Amino acid sequence: MDDWEDRYVGRWFDGNGTEIEIVKVCRHRFVVSYWRNGRAISRPWMKNQPSIEMPARYIDDPLSGGDFVVDLTESQGDCSLHLYYEECDYLSPEKGEIISTTVSVPERYDKALLDQCCSLFLCQDHLHRLTKES
């Protein structure tokens, strides 16, 4: 792995039915697919487009650290899913690498959109790397 962003690439699951796949397209650019219980999530605010190959980017900021941002809407920055990579789940080190999630909206946001994005895409548990043994 040459870049920190490469650590995100792969399949991740939370053990409760949520699974994501992150594919690198080029430096700082990715596509992310998101499933719950084996099915892509329909995004009502986007004419029910499925959560497959959503555009994502890694923002490398030396001052604040990296930020992995998945666009949940057509317009970049309207509502985003943020993924945070950790090399180890410190509460359960035997489980290895984890990704945690948050959702963000712009300063002037639509509360209904925020509520929908959170209920559909916010993970309640950490995502763990899916391996052949998982």
* Domains in the chain: boundaries: 4-129
Angle ∠(24,29,35) on CA atoms, nearest 5:
60
The confidence score (pLDDT) of residue 113 equals 86
Residue 133 has pLDDT above 70, yes or no: no
State the pTM of this model.
0.89
Q: CA end-to-end span of the chain, whole Å?
A: 22
Name 61's bridge partners: 65
The confidence score (pLDDT) of residue 95 equals 73
Residue 52 has pLDDT above 70, yes or no: yes
